[in-house]
Amino acid sequence: MADTLFYSPAIGQNSLLPEKESQHCVKVLRMREGDKLTVTDGKGFFYECILVQAHPKQCMVSIQNSIAKRKGWDYDLRVAFAPAKQTDRNEWFVEKAVEVGIDTVIPILCHYSERKEIKTERLEKIAVSAMKQSQQAFLPEIEKLKGFKDIISRPFNGKKCIAHCHDLPKVPLAQHYKKGENLLILIGPEGDFSQEEVEEAIAAGFEPVTLSESRLRTETACLVAVQTIHVINSL
């Protein structure tokens, strides 16, 4: 595979690259007609292509070969988190989660949320960039901001956990989770979930869990949860 990966969600149907990718191809990498490039659709395929028209706004490619790339994990891994006040911390989590492997990221609004809104488009751009950089063919879904109650009442075919810091009974995630299970985990804001939120989640079937012996920042907790699941599945 060529070292630089391009992203075009419609590459299976449309041989024109999006504007941003075309610009990167022609202006930044100075690729020329006849050059080879690899494009992913973010849905599990790599397309080996030849550049047939090096237009800075709309490159045209010819597909030579398509390769199904299996996802590096065979469970459904979703993190619903209350975005941190500092934007870069949320962006950091998305970048790292995509590198390490995640299916869905769901920003949620909680009682103690300091950040009440978030630019999902910006997180999507970061996810695309991290997917390309880590040479993957799956673009995780970044949902729009959801309410806490919306998330806990949503059906989910797998284990549901809530990580919190209250002095209530809870088990380490690594001991609760079993290899191969799908997981939806909720991570609270800087000020934690309210005790009422924890109780509502438990009533909705979420298991209260801990992630570490020390107090983790929101974005650290999110990534620790993701990596914990991958490690258990790799054993």
CA distance 26 to 120: 28
Query: Pick from 22, 113, 136, 218: which binds a second copy (CB under 8 A)?
Result: 136
Of 168-207, binders to a second copy (CB under 8 A) are: 172, 174-175
Residue number with CB closer to a second copy (157 or 214): 214
Check residue 92 for interaction with a second copy (CB under 8 A): yes
Q: Work out how close the CB of 13 gets to a second copy at its nearest, in angstroms, rounded to a whole number.
A: 26
In the block, tokens 């993957």 appear at 136
Residue 42 in contact with a second copy, rule: CB under 8 A: no
Residue from the set 74, 121, 167, 213 that interacts with a second copy by CB under 8 A: 213
Q: Does 217 bind a second copy (CB under 8 A)?
A: yes
218 contacts 189 by C-beta, under 8 angstroms: yes
Q: Strands 207-210 and 171-172: what pairing?
A: parallel
214 binding a second copy? (CB under 8 A): yes
Evaluate whether 63 touches 11 at the Cβ level (below 8 Å).
yes
Map residue 214 onto helix, strand or coil: coil
Contact region with a second copy (CB under 8 A), list: 107-115, 121-129, 196-204, 214-222: 214-222
Choice from 23, 58, 104, 135 touching a second copy (CB under 8 A) = 135
Nearest to 15, CA basis, from 58, 44, 68, 69: 58
Cα 129 from chain centroid? Answer: 11
Q: Does 235 bind a second copy (CB under 8 A)?
A: yes
Q: From CA 209, how far away is CA 170, in angstroms rounded?
A: 5
Q: What are 85's two structure tokens?
A: 């006040």
Binding residues (CB under 8 A) for a second copy: these are 72, 92, 96, 99-101, 133-136, 172, 174-175, 212-217, 220, 223-224, 227-228, 230-232, 234-235
